[in-house]
Amino acid sequence: MQKIAAGLIGGLMLAGAGIWVAQAQTLKSEAAAHPRIAAAIREMESAIQYLEAAPHDFGGHKAAAIRDTRAAVVQLKLALAYRAAKDR
């Protein structure tokens, strides 16, 4: 019984990985189709890293800036994912 369960779990993991790879490739093609959005995501991720490493808190705005920029990155990635799903 444990072997069956392990086999099922392994199969599901492989199937999930295959779906993830296909989605990643589709998202990559969407990023290529929308280079300004892809560039904005990269720039915002860079800004987050910069803010996190900064020794000061920018007048108390650092935490909110990081939080809101992360939210913006999520929304842009969701926009690309939506477009990718529609383009299939």
DSSP string, 20-86: HHHHHHHHHHHHHH-HHHHHHHHHHHHHHHHHHH-SS-GGGTHHHHHHHHHHHHHHHHHHHHHHHHH
Q: How far does CA 20 lie from the centroid of its chain?
A: 12
Inside any domain, residue 21: no
Number of domains in the chain: 1
Inside any domain, residue 14: no
Inside any domain, residue 19: no
pLDDT tens digits, 20-67: 444 556 778 888 889 999 999 999 999 999 999 999 999 999 999 999
pLDDT (mean) for 8-26: 54
Inside any domain, residue 1: no
Range of the domain at 75: 27-87
